[in-house]
Amino acid sequence: MMSIAYFLTILARMKTALTFDDVLIIPNYSEVLPKEVNLQTHLTREIKLNIPIVSSPMDTVTEHEMAISMALNGGIGIIHKNLSVEEQSRQVALVKRFENGFIDNPVTILPNQYIYDVAKIRTELGYKKVPIVDEKGILVGLITELDYFLPDDLSKKIKDVMRPLKEIVVAKEPITLKQANKIIKERKLSILHIVDRRGKLVSIVTRKDLEKNEQYPESVKDSQKRLRVGAAISVGSDAYERAVSLVGAGVDVFVVDTAHGHSKGVIDMVKLLKNDEQLKAVEVIAGNVATAEGAKALIEAGADGVKVGVGPGSICTTRIISGAGMPQMSALISAVKGAGKSGVPIIADGGIKYSGDIVKALSAGAQCVVLGGLLAGTHESPGEVEYYEGRMYKSYRGMGSLEAMKEGAKDRYGQGEQNNPEKLVPEGIVGRVLYRGSVTEILFQLCGGIRSGMGYIGAKTISEIVHKAEMVKITASGLKESHPHDVQITKEAPNYQAIRI
């Protein structure tokens, strides 16, 4: 039986832990206007973002449509792993091919193939214009959506309807992207083919990509002008095979995504990824952790970014089911301490309800945040719109929900060897969130809130926030006072939901 003295000793050693709703940032003297702040930050040691927002690797949040929109708007999306190896890699490839400078190794087709094959490319990849090459890769023509009729022409051979080489504009290597774009504008082209001295197709440049480059100046791209994208992997049996396939698809960053990142399996996986010849060129984020020791262990293993958050998500029940976790503000402060002067970014994952929570996370030392629920109701998230009591919703579920675990997420929760669905122990729920339209508008409002917060702090860059922000602990009354009160809201603002489902 525990003695009273021992109990009091344990109680005295217990610390108070805080989350976002427990604190506020004190307004500081400022010479910084919101429009003057710079939101550029680091996702990993090497990868920069133009806004500090990452879409979560959840199967109701991020597939290629979300990842494309995130990268176009300055953030990045992480493709979830509740997919086959082939399908997850295909999703990554769709992002990498969406907007490019030079599209190297473009999808091509042979003249002896059929319109059926062109239609399949159009349906599966979305390409309406496909270069035609011979068996040696020599460019011989082009087929566009205007050159055939569906379904009448499905059995026709491509060579019978394609545009021959003499009818298309071709440029020879070497050529710069600026020169290629100039040709597209001057000749009013939809596509420009780049060939080598033998006539072999090397790459293409499209008018569509040129227009996107001008429309989204803040988009996040790699050295080849392709949109950046990440992908989640686990510590399960297919992790290595998955990682190799993702590298082939062009993935920019691996996210070793587990509920308990301060564990041998995660540490060993990080070491494998950082030391394997085929994989080590790709940046690695690992998590999730909630302590200084956890962050330090992952960094020492080679992680280029550390994800923080055990149980803060709106659809997560980890803390209730297991009794383990840490309120998110305290977890972030602890992880930042563990990272020390390593230069490895700390990433806040979970518990973000409003843009002000993002500012608080950045004030605690995070470099960026992962969003799930705030993005789950957007047009770009996977799943169909549902109607309930006259309002539009989209499904949102935790990766620890029974449904998600059955589809592949069980190894995230240390239950990868359990083959009996009835023996799975879930750590999440299935719910719905209000449909919120385009993710672009959501990101605009969130970034506007971050800019406003930085103005109150007097910080011009994200790296300045942690040095200038001063926070106070508030009471439940202080939180109540912070929200609209003593009034019935008749028109909701685009960046504030009075009713949270």
Per-residue model confidence as pLDDT tens digits over 103-142: 777 889 999 999 999 998 888 777 889 999 999 999 999 9
Residues annotated as part of the active site? 316, 412
161: helix, strand or coil: coil
CA distance 199 to 187: 21
Give the tens place of pLDDT for each residue, 247-285.
999 999 999 999 999 999 999 999 999 999 999 999 999
**Arithmetic mean of pLDDT, 86-114:** 88
Q: Where are the domains of the chain?
A: 47-98+220-450, 103-214
If phi over 0 gives left and psi between -120 and 50 gives alpha, with beta otherwise, what is residue 237?
alpha
Number of continuous H segments (helices) and E segments (strands) in the chain: 17, 22
* β-pair partners for 118: none
**Arithmetic mean of pLDDT, 372-384:** 92
CA distance 306 to 344: 7
The sheet carrying 170-172 orders its strands as: 103-104, 201-206, 191-195, 170-172
- Percent of the chain, pLDDT > 90? 69
Instruction: Give CATH for domain 47-98+220-450.
Output: 3.20.20.70
* Residue 99 banded pLDDT, cuts 50, 70, 90: low
Where b means 16+ CB within 10 Å and e means fewer, 29-53 reads: eeebeeeebebbbbbbeebebbbbb
115: helix, strand or coil: helix
Q: What's residue 369's pLDDT?
A: 99
The answer to whether 431 and 363 are in contact (CB under 8 A) is no
**Arithmetic mean of pLDDT, 186-202:** 91
* Residue 210 banded pLDDT, cuts 50, 70, 90: confident
Summary mean pLDDT of the chain: 91
Give the tens place of pLDDT for each residue, 296-314.
999 999 999 999 999 999 9
* Res. 193: pLDDT tops 80: yes
Q: Hey, what amino acid is at 401?
A: S
Give the tens place of pLDDT for each residue, 43-80.
999 999 999 999 999 999 999 999 999 999 999 999 99
CA angle 196, 202, 206 (to 5 degrees): 120
What architecture does CATH give domain 103-214?
Roll (3.10)
Q: What's residue 100's pLDDT?
A: 64
The answer to whether 191 and 215 are in contact (CB under 8 A) is no
Q: What is the pTM of this model?
A: 0.81
* Res. 501: pLDDT tops 60: no
C-alpha dihedral (343, 344, 345, 351), degrees to nearest 10: -140
**Arithmetic mean of pLDDT, 455-478:** 96
| Structure tokens that stand for 175 in this block | 């050529």
* Res. 354: pLDDT tops 90: yes
